[in-house]
Structures are given as structure tokens and as C-alpha cells.
Structure 1
Amino acid sequence: MSNGAAPSVADAIRAAADRLSPTSDTARLDAELLMAHALGVSRSRMLITLMREEEPPGFAPLVTRRAACEPVAHILGAQEFCGLDFAVTPDTLIPRGDSETIVEAALEVAPSASRVLDMGTGSGALLLAYLHENPGAAGVGTDASPAALRVAQTNAERLGLAERAQFHEANWLCEGWASDLGQFDLVLCNPPYVEDDAELDPDVREYEPASALFSGPEGLDDYRAIIPQLGKLLIPGGLAVLEIGAEQAPAVAAIAHESGFETKLRLDLAERPRALILR
């Protein structure tokens, strides 16, 4: 303890990690991120210079929220994705490191796309990360949720990309949803792909929007709706990059082949199937 009265930052982090370990596989990291937030500094600055300081009074309530399985990103209001800081709320999926595979694949196969569509944009992460890396591109993000679109617009403004990104309310299950959008060099999409009866961790099941997670008994309903529409959305020679579940590559590829697409698979950092490129 720093003065005999209150635990040090280091002691408080250690105790919080012990408390969180039964429900979080990243308990120590969670505790460090929450402490840095309570201190109002970066995690790296905290680790280097502030570990002997007293625990701030705002830390304990944050740990209590995390112990109830509330996602760290919701507590912090932000999540890093492709090296960029994205605002997140319970109205959107939290951008995950696995989904960076979608952006990396798109930059590899379509590095100079000039017009990009992100279907089900959520926080805007896929579209804005691609636009950040390709300064010559502009794009459109669609989502059925007005609340999610407000988050995406906020992120575009925060990242200085608002002039190159537009956001529209649209539902790909509705007739004519894309009639005013035109065509694109590149389509990105992380659709709902979780089976309706799948068991999910509480921090996902209870805190993230079900409409962005579940897609029928096999998790394939949205692929069956999206893929047959891609031909009209893509210019000749255009590409689509779709996120898939780890076990879904054969089934989604079969749906794509029925619509006349060739497919190529990309693995994520854990060597699991993650992105399917349609040409």
C-alpha cells in the first residue's frame, strides 16, 4: 500500500484480476484497462509510472460492472480495431480482433477500390478501417438499426473520415433496400451468423444486440439473403469479403457457388476460417 490507507494501483489490479478470473479469460488485462480508465491515462503510462499510486475511488464500481459480465468495451465506451479507437455502445457489436482479417483480406485483394459498401456496418469498423488505409476510397455503410448508424457516424467524425463515409438505414431482407445505392468495387459484410440455439458467454448473450448475432438454426439465413444480391451490387470484376463462423466455410462457399461466385478462404490469427472472398 502506498500510504497505509488505500491499496496501491498494483495491489488493486491484482485483487480485481482475482475477482474477475472466474468469469473472464482476460481478467488481468480487464483489470488493467479498467484501472487505466479510472486514472484517465493510457494503460502503458499506468504500467510504467503509476503502479505505486493509490487506487482511485472510481475503480471499484468498474470492477463490479465487469464482474457482472458487462463487456469491458461497454464500460470504457470504446474498443481498438485495426489500430483505431472506435466508440461502441450496446446498440452495436463490439469490433473484435478476429474481424481484422476481413479488412486485411480486403486490402490484399482490393487495395485500390474506389467505392466500398459495408452491409450491416454497426460501429462502422470494417468500412472506416478500410477507408483509413485506402485514402482514395469512399464508402457507404448500411444498417437496419438507426442507433447503430449514429454510432458509425460518430466514429467517422472522430476518425476524420466523415467526408468519405455515408451511412444509410437499410435492411437487406426488405425488397428494394439497395435500389438507390448504385454499384461498388468492394462489398464488406460481417452478418449475423450464430445459430439460434448456440450457447454464448454472458457478456455476449446479455449485452450485445441479438439482431446482429443470430441467423436461423444453422446460422446461415443471412448469407442466403445476402449472397444472391451481391451480383447487382458489384461492378464487373468486383469483390465481396464476408466474415464467417469457424465451421461455416463449406456451407457459405456452396451458397456462393450457387450464385456464380468463385471463393477463396482466409484464416484469422488463430488459424481458423474467418473470411470468404467472393469473386
Structure 2
Amino acid sequence: MTPILAGTTIAAVMQRAPVEQLEARMLIGHVTQLTRVQLITQAERAFSDAEATQLNTLFQRRVAGEPMAYLLGEREFFGLTFKVDPAVLIPRPDTELLVELALQHLPQDGRVLDMGTGSGAIAIAIAHTRRDAQVTALDVSESALLVAQSNAQNNQVEVEFLRSDWFTALAEQVAEQQFDLIVSNPPYIVADDRHLSEGDLRFEPIDALTDHADGLSALRIISKQAADYLSDDGWLLMEHGYDQAEAVRDLLKQDGYTEVQSWRDLANIERVSGGKKSRA
């Protein structure tokens, strides 16, 4: 890749960028803080030394395959902007289904628990849409929680964040910690899945992608323990892999949930499964 030199114009860089044109425009806009329209109207604007250095680095990282979301430091999800870095998974459109279902199943003034919150995307999207809700989010990663807390502040919502290995932080207060809804997008990729070594997944936190086993370990834990923290008629909703719906429905049925079902995403894939806690 030929280095970009200070004094080179935006138009010249666009002509010979080593990445796709849309990505080049996004990266140049990120470096220069210019809008898409400004990049056109100021096409003859020259890069400074600092801008040229930064853009060279970004182009090199993108050519190496690093996700655009990490390069730009943010990703849009459910109409909101989230900061992301390699400590958290990149929010994906597929997961918006989980948020939509959560909003449908959440009663007025309800309490929600988000397990393995990562960037906080699910919890924050719910809290932003339903200002009446009380939202708690857990994650075992301190780095992820720092990102999530920043995102909650930037999106002006109140979410209680706790560091916890699944339900551990709540275990001593089971009676006081009752939720109307528990949601989770846990690690569910099988340990030897080839996708872990392809595309964006190569750069995302491995422990947030896979359980290093059959892909169902975290789903089993959540399904088995969630009922202790759900109020009567409360719902558990979990995102899972494209081929795991039947197995997850079986888990939910074995653990005593009722009205067990799966919902399909925009690609017509069964992406979320859930069930209701029966009354005692």
C-alpha cells in the first residue's frame, strides 16, 4: 500500500484508496470530522501530517481485516449510537429481534435483567425505549462494563451495571432480585466453528463468542437458573445460533418453562427462543 502523504487531497486519496469506496469515505470522514456532503464539497482539501498518519494506520488495519466498527469506534444499533472497542462484541442487526421481543413482553414499570451485556446495547436500547422500566445488566468483564457504562451515559439512560459471572452477584439476594424479564445474547458458537477464524469474528473477544464447548453451556446455565430470579409469569428470552433453536426449546421445556417458542429474524432464521415461568 502506497503511503498517503501530507498535502494529498481527499479526491486523490479516494481515487487510490486500498479499501472499498464506502469504507474509504467513512474512514476519511472519521479522520477529518467532515460529513459525507463536506467530503464532496471539500474534495480538494489537503490532509495534514497528523491526518495522513492516522489515515495510513486505519487503512492498514482495515486491509488486515479489522472490523470497521472498531476502526470508527462506534456502531449503530436500534437507532442509537454505541461506542465499541475490542473488549466488546460489535452489536448486530440480528440482535434487534431480541430487543423487539423484550419490549413486547415487558410489563409497565417492569424490571429487566440483561445477562452478559457487553457494550450494553440490549439493556440500553430497552431502557431508552421504555423509560418506565428498571434495567439491570451483568457482565463478567470489567472492560466491557466500562464501555457499557459510557454508552448508557452517552445515550442518556439509567441502567444498573454489575460485574457478575452470570447470576453470581445476585445469588445472595434472590428474594430481592426478582425480574419480569430476563434477556441474554450469550456465547453460543461451537468451539471448533470455522467462522471464529474468519471475518470480523477474528478480532472480537473470543470469550463473548464461544463457550469453548458445544455452544450450549451458557444457555444451559441461564435457562436452569433464571427461574429463581423471575417473577411469576416472567419471561426468559435468549438469542442463539442459527441451528440451536430446537435444542434451546428442549432446555427451556426441561427446566419447566411454559409457552416455549422461537422467533425468526429478518433472514427467516430462528434466532431467539424463550419461555414463561409458570406460577408457583
Same fold (TM over 0.5): yes
Q: Find the partner of 2:240 among 211, 226, 244.
A: 244
Q: Label 1:10 to 1:255 Cα distance change in 2 as closer, same or farther (>3 A).
A: farther
Q: Which residue in the other structure is 1:122 paired with?
A: 118
Matched, 1:66 2:67: no
Q: Which residue in the other structure is 1:172 paired with?
A: 166
- Unpaired runs of 5+ residues, structure 1, are 21-26
Matched, 1:89 2:90: no
C-alpha displacement at 1:29, in angstroms? 3.4
Equivalent pair of 1:153/1:167 in contact (CA under 8 Å) = yes
Q: How does 1:206-245 map to 2 (within 5 A)?
A: 206-245=202-241
Matched, 1:278 2:275: yes
Q: How does 1:127-142 map to 2 (within 5 A)?
A: 127-142=123-138
Q: Label 1:235 to 1:47 Cα distance change in 2 as closer, same or farther (>3 A).
A: farther
Matched, 1:198 2:193: yes
SS in 2 for 1:196: coil
TM-score, normalization by structure 2: 0.85
Distance across 2 between alignment mates of 1:266 and 1:169: 30
Equivalent pair of 1:34/1:76 in contact (CA under 8 Å) = yes
Q: Find the partner of 1:156 among 152, 155, 159.
A: 152
Q: Label 1:48 to 1:136 Cα distance change in 2 as closer, same or farther (>3 A).
A: farther
C-alpha displacement at 1:11, in angstroms? 5.1
Equivalent pair of 1:189/1:243 in contact (CA under 8 Å) = yes
- Unpaired runs of 5+ residues, structure 2, are 1-5
Bigger Cα displacement from structure 2, 53-62 vs 111-120: 53-62
Equivalent pair of 2:138/2:166 in contact (CA under 8 Å) = no
C-alpha displacement at 1:277, in angstroms? 2.8
Distance across 2 between alignment mates of 1:192 and 1:60: 34
RMSD over aligned Cα, in angstroms?
A: 2.3
Distance across 2 between alignment mates of 1:185 and 1:136: 13
Q: Label 1:232 to 1:14 Cα distance change in 2 as closer, same or farther (>3 A).
A: farther
Equivalent pair of 2:88/2:144 in contact (CA under 8 Å) = yes
Distance across 2 between alignment mates of 1:10 and 1:109: 50
Distance across 2 between alignment mates of 1:129 and 1:241: 15
Distance across 2 between alignment mates of 1:148 and 1:93: 9
SS in 1 for 2:172: coil
Equivalent pair of 1:242/1:275 in contact (CA under 8 Å) = yes
Equivalent pair of 2:170/2:177 in contact (CA under 8 Å) = no
* Partner AA of 1:45 in structure 2: V
Distance across 2 between alignment mates of 1:251 and 1:113: 32
Q: Label 1:48 to 1:269 Cα distance change in 2 as closer, same or farther (>3 A).
A: farther
Q: Which residue in the other structure is 2:37 paired with?
A: 45
Equivalent pair of 1:124/1:156 in contact (CA under 8 Å) = yes
C-alpha displacement at 1:204, in angstroms? 3.5
* Partner AA of 1:263 in structure 2: V
Per-residue displacement from partner, 1:2-28 (whole Å, max 9, x unpaired)?
A: xxx966535534533xx34xxxxxx44
Distance across 1 between alignment mates of 2:138 and 2:69: 23
Distance across 2 between alignment mates of 1:269 and 1:8: 41
C-alpha displacement at 1:179, in angstroms? 3.0
Equivalent pair of 1:69/1:202 in contact (CA under 8 Å) = no
Per-residue displacement from partner, 1:37-80 (whole Å, max 9, x unpaired)?
A: 012134x4346644564566243321111111121111111111
* Partner AA of 1:33 in structure 2: M
Q: Label 1:117 to 1:173 Cα distance change in 2 as closer, same or farther (>3 A).
A: closer
Bigger Cα displacement from structure 2, 190-199 vs 95-104: 95-104
Identity in percent: 37
Per-residue displacement from partner, 1:100-159 (whole Å, max 9, x unpaired)?
A: 111112112326352110100111110000110001012111111111111111111111
SS in 1 for 2:117: coil
SS in 2 for 1:168: strand
Q: Find the partner of 2:260 among 263, 269, 272.
A: 263
Q: Which residue in the other structure is 1:146 paired with?
A: 142
Distance across 1 between alignment mates of 2:75 and 2:228: 34
Per-residue displacement from partner, 1:159-203 (whole Å, max 9, x unpaired)?
A: 111xx21111110275x7533360111111000000000112545
Distance across 2 between alignment mates of 1:191 and 1:125: 13
C-alpha displacement at 1:226, in angstroms? 0.9
Q: Which residue in the other structure is 1:24 paired with?
A: none
